[in-house]
Amino acid sequence: MIQVSNLSKVFPDGTQALRDVSVSIPDGDFVAVIGLSGAGKSTFLRCLNRLVDPSGGAIEVDGTDVARLRGRSLQRYRRTVGFIFQQFNLVTRLSVLDNVLSGRLGYHPTWRGMLALYTDRDYELARAAIREVGLAGKEDTRVDQLSGGQQQRVAIARAMTQEPELILADEPMASLDPRLSDVILGLLRDYNQKRGVTVLVNIHVLELAKRYAKRVIAFNKGHIVFDGPVAELDGDLETTIYAGSLEAL
C-alpha cells in the first residue's frame, strides 16, 4: 500500500513541480499517470523511489516513511522498486544477461556486485525474466546490437529480476516507435496480473492509458486534477487535464 500525503517538490531553481499531492494506491493496482509534459508525472514517480527528494509531505510504502530513508535502509527499499526509464538506462556495451543480472545488485554487498559474483538463483531469475519478455536466445548479445524496443524489454527484465514489490515506469514507450507501445504496456500489465505487483506507468497518450489501466491519476501543473476509474474520464475532465496545452506548445 502506497500512501502519499501532501507531497510537494520545489527544485533548487524554484520550479514547483508537485503541490500538495495526496493519493493512496492499494497493492496490485495498475495505475496510469497522465497529464501534459511538465505536469509533474516524472517527478512524482521519482519521489516514490527517491531518485528525487521530496521537499515536503510524506510517502508511506507498506508503513515505511520512504521520504525519510537514508543509507542502508534506502538501499533496501530501492531494491524492491523496479524503475523503467524512457531512455532504458542500460549499459549498452554489456550483454543482455549482464544487464538483467544487475537487477540483483541491490541484494549483495558492493564488493560482490563489483566482482559480479552472482548466485545461481540470480542467474535463474535473470534467465526466467529474459524468457518472460520474449528475448530467450539473446542472453549473450550486446545491448547495443538490439533495437530500441528490445532494449526496453531488457530494462523490464532487469526490473523483474529485482523481484520488485512496485514497478515505476516513466513513459517507457516515449523513445520507441508507437507501434511498440502495446508490447511494452502488455508486458507490464501481464506482470501486474500474474504477480500482483503494483505498477505505476506515466503515459503521455490518453488513449493508451484508457486501454491498459483501470485507474488513472491525472496531473496538471503539479496538482492531481483527477484520480479515479478510467470509465469516469469524460470530455470535460479531459479538457481540465490537458488545460494549458497551447501554452505548452
Q: Which of 21, 29, 31, 41 lies at the binding interface for ligand ADP (CB under 6 A)?
A: 41
Burial of 54 (C-beta count, 10 Å sphere; 0-12/13-18/19+): buried
Number of residues that bind ligand ADP (CB under 6 A): 12
Q: Which of 2, 21, 25, 39 lies at the binding interface for ligand ADP (CB under 6 A)?
A: 39
What is the helix, strand, coil percentage profile of the chain, to 5? 40, 25, 35
CA 67, 71, 74 angle in degrees (round to 5)? 45
Is 103 near ligand ADP (CB under 6 A)? no
Is 97 near ligand ADP (CB under 6 A)? no
Name the one range near ligand ADP by CB under 6 A: 34-42, 85-93, 122-130, 144-152: 34-42
Half-sphere exposure of 230 (CA within 13 A, CB side): 15
Question: 20: which residues sit within 8 A by CB, 6+ positions away?
Answer: 6, 7, 8, 57, 223
Q: Could you tell me the smallest distance in angstroms from the CB atom of residue 14 to ligand ADP?
A: 8
33 or 125, CB closer to ligand ADP? Answer: 33
Is 248 near ligand ADP (CB under 6 A)? no
The interface mask with ligand ADP, positions 63-82, x = CB under 6 A, is --------------------
4 or 157, CB closer to ligand ADP? Answer: 4
Distance CA(32)–CA(156), nearest Å, equals 17
Q: Which of 7, 21, 30, 40 lies at the binding interface for ligand ADP (CB under 6 A)?
A: 40
34 or 187, CB closer to ligand ADP? Answer: 34
Name the one range near ligand ADP by CB under 6 A: 36-44, 72-80, 108-116, 120-128: 36-44
DSSP state of 95: B
21, three cell numbers:
499531492
Neighbour tally for 158: CB within 10 Å = 28
Q: Could you tell me the smallest distance in angstroms from the CB atom of residue 37 to ligand ADP?
A: 4
Residue nearest to ligand ADP as judged by C-beta position: 42
Distance of CA 122 to the CA centre of its chain: 22
Residue where the block lists cell 554487498: 109
Strand partners, 224: 219
State which of positions 1-30 bind ligand ADP (CB under 6 A).
Answer: 11, 13, 15, 17
Q: Which of 2, 19, 31, 35 lies at the binding interface for ligand ADP (CB under 6 A)?
A: 35
In the complex, the residues that contact ligand ADP under the rule CB under 6 A are 11, 13, 15, 17, 35, 37-43
